[in-house]
Amino acid sequence: MSEEIRIIVDHEHAGERLDVFLSHFLDGFSRSFLQKKITEGCVLYNEKGVKSKQPVKAGDEILLAIPDPEPVTAVPENIPLEILYEDEDLLFVNKPKGLVVHPAPGHETGTLVNALVYYLGDDLSSIGGVLRPGIVHRIDMDTSGVLVIAKNDIAHRKVAEQLAVHSIRRRYRAIVHGRIEEESGTISKPIGRSQTNRLKMAVRPDGKRAVTHFKVLQRFDAYTYIECSLETGRTHQIRVHMTSVGHPLLGDTVYGNIPNKFRLQGQTLHALSLGLVHPRTGEWIEVTSDIPDYMKHLLEIL
């Protein structure tokens, strides 16, 4: 058995390679997976076989047959968790830098989800599926800090609703290149998928609304320590916004890629706190985590 997906190419994506277009349109399918399906003849373009590099045209029809996936579940692994708060509905953890949130190609094991399945077993919401149980939102692998986990479907839906209307309060700490002279500011620039590199996000006039507020905590000769609060929650939002105003995050090789002497692994970004309305009690709950030791040490050096 297989699922058939019919897509009509829109004007916005006309001219893209077929595999690139499909990877943009079908969230959850990797480009390599789609290339494999195209090669196997599972994709028809205007009712004909086609190659991955075929440019798409507005109005053309694509028919994609996706075979039913093999049953896969996240394997329980005894990975230590730093628990910040827990009750019958929610679990707040402090995710360390370098830990991937959920299994994905190249990271099938050793993720936060593997640790959660070991710790909680079936006591996780099922909405995210077998590879993302309990996961309502994510932070990047090299970003540390507070992450909330839903332990049942009702809690998952109510937290997701708050994320959708941007009512969850999220504060981050970051070290950026350059001295920011103003005490605080707001960056309001729409963000969308980069047209030149699908692994990156970019400021684009046709992107989704994105607003980041920041304030300066400490200035150094060539760097600034800041706190950011998110009004919206776009992918890589702080990294993209700070780069757009000339202050990329220290250690960010994707958006800044400025050589530094500290031999950092990824961006210096920490999710300091997360506040939301509790799905059962209706009361406001806010959980905070201390900045990681590597960032404390870095601030001492600066």
User: Which residue in 140, 206, 252, 290 is the catalytic one?
Assistant: 140
Spell out the residues 6+ positions from residue 268 whose beta carbon is closer than 8 angstroms to its own.
174, 175, 249, 250, 251, 295, 298
Query: 24 with 16: CB under 8 angstroms?
Result: yes
- Distance from C-alpha of 53 to C-alpha of 51, rounded to nearest angstrom: 6
293 is a catalytic site residue: no
Query: 91 with 83: CB under 8 angstroms?
Result: yes
Query: 97 with 297: CB under 8 angstroms?
Result: no
- Written as six digits, the tokens of 220 are 């150094």
Q: Active-site residue numbers?
A: 140
